[in-house]
Amino acid sequence: MDSSFEHLNPIIKALPAAPGVYQFINNKGEIIYVGKAKNLRSRVRSYFNKKNYESARVKVLTRRVSDISHIVVESEADALLLENNLIKKNKPRYNVLLKDDKTFPYICLSNERFPRVYQTRKRNETGALYFGPYTSVQMVKTILELIKRLHPLRTCNYKLTEENIRKKKFKVCLEYHIGNCKGPCEGKQTEKEYNENIRSIKNILNGNIYEVKKFLIEQMQQYSTVLKFEEAQIVKEKLEILEKYRSKSVIVNPALKNIDVFSYIEDDKYAYVNYIKVSNGAIIQSKTKEIRKVLNEPGSELLGLAIVDILADQTFEKGEIIVPFDPNPDLNNKKITIPKIGDRKKLLLLSERNAKHFKVEKQNRQKIRTKNKNNLLEIMRKDLNISAKPVHIECFDISNILGKNQVAACVVFRNGVPSTRDYRHFLIKTVSGSDDYAAMKEVVIRRYSRLLEEQKSLPQLVVIDGGKGQLNTVHNALKKMQLSDKINVIAIAKKLEEIFLPGDPLPLYLDKNSPTLRIIQNIRNEAHRFGLRLHRKKRSAEQTESKLLEINGIGATTIQKLFIDFKSYENIKNATSDDLAKSIGKHKAKLIFNYFQND
């Protein structure tokens, strides 16, 4: 993998080898691409393993990915449907948008006397029943053809009321004469007989396809018996399509309107709540929330807290909530359902599956990060030729301007990342003037004397911002403390990023892409930043103090008292005469107040 994608490596390795939808997210948190995959890990990895891209568009896309999210589903067909939903909702920049709003086909059972069965891509709220959507138009055609052979139905759009049939307003058409319809328009088929056929068709469309398969197998055998192998092969292909047939998908299901689904799993330390949003029959969102257990709270309480937190970010709508058990808080205007069977149960199981994948993915990421850190530390150990892995690294930096406001900073990295709670600032006490060597010696001795006194762990590596002179100063200080055999020390010179080691007259040059050099540069830059912060603060305080000292009748003791009471220069400047008088008396308060007024 290209080194520019290293931040994505733990995410990609932790992805499940399961069907689903992946979403590429940029550094602003925007979804810029949605894709489907039979195997999420393999598909996503393929984007970042390429040296040559088939198009500049894909190359630009990968460079803009800062995070990857995913939703796991049951099958590749479900992934296709979910991808379609998410593209239409989020309109990602790098997806081919469905400009004509074309969607997947359904089979419609119309809501009328003598219902019709036909293929459609649009759903109207007319009380009709819709089955699907189907990812294959060929599958829809096969199902409709089989229904037509088993149960001949009308295809006309006549209004077949009882009165119209009695008055003989319609005549049978060609479909009747060729055997595709039994003529309900002329009363040649009763409504009762017709509805029996509709009931059988509903069974087929709901997935009860046993009798259809039986019919096809018998037909195939008949063709084979009379040596009509081509016809038998056509029937066999239809049978194979039917084997793959799924009556419906919870990913897009017109029967499910405005539903919020919450699943819950837990371990010893954390609870995981997955949320799926269903709007207008389609899944449009999924995310998982991790909750750290504090006092071994019950699952009902944690689930309730998660529901309230997640729904707080949603547009308020009346609807239904699906949960595995009763949550603790009362959720007004929401119908709570704990499903046992059916489509709602399938949604809950899908949500739970995503929660489990999130938990496993998190654990895998932690393992990968730990492994990568161990590998990185081992690389550093070899590159710097030191005896132990530098798990604990410290770096010192001296800041001053012409010897004034001299301060030092010590920053700490553990396992290659900053440990900010261990950072320390030092005010130089024994050195006057601009003597960086003496200042560095003082700070190093103070730092490690304190660690030894408190019986705290020593670093395996100390990094010094400077050249050979600073390195020798620190190395001699550690020798004096009898720590030179316990603490390795190196120096990095800014100009050419040379690494100096004790006892070696020649510098070490590491490759500019070396992870070892990158860590050393990071800790050096962090020490410089942290040191400058105190230096600027001290310099600012000194400038402020010198301003106040310009006021006749105001001395250092008064200024100190003011800073204790008012905390900052701005607060002193904006204080009223009465507030100042409470701190330092009326006479001095008037002097300071008048100074700022005139200023």
* H runs (alpha helix) in 226-284: 229-243
The pLDDT value given to residue 402: 45
The pLDDT value given to residue 100: 42
DSSP 8-state assignment for residue 67: E
Residue 381 sits at φ, ψ, to 5 deg, of -60, -45
Tell how far CA 274 is from the center of its chain.
13
Q: Give CA–CA dist 264/310, Å, rounded.
A: 14
Sorted by sequence, the CB contacts under 8 Å of residue 341 that are 6+ apart come out as none
Regarding pTM above 0.95, the answer is no
Q: What is the DSSP string of 101-156?
A: -----EEEE-SSSS--EEEES---SSS-EEE---S-HHHHHHHHHHHHHHS-----
What are the average pLDDT values for consecutive 10-residue runs of the chain, which has 599 residues? 70 87 88 89 84 72 87 83 82 64 77 89 78 77 80 86 86 86 87 85 73 78 88 81 64 77 88 86 82 79 82 67 79 77 87 89 80 82 86 84 65 87 83 77 90 89 86 89 88 83 84 84 85 61 59 75 73 82 84 76
The pLDDT value given to residue 466: 80
CB atoms within 10 A of CB 216: 19
Beta bridge partners of 259: 278, 320
The pLDDT value given to residue 22: 92
Q: Give CA–CA dist 198/211, Å, rounded.
A: 15
Contact 285, 275 (CB under 8 A): yes
Contact 255, 281 (CB under 8 A): yes
**Secondary structure class of 396 (helix, strand, coil):** strand
DSSP 8-state assignment for residue 252: B
Dig out the tokens for 265 from the structure: 């799993």
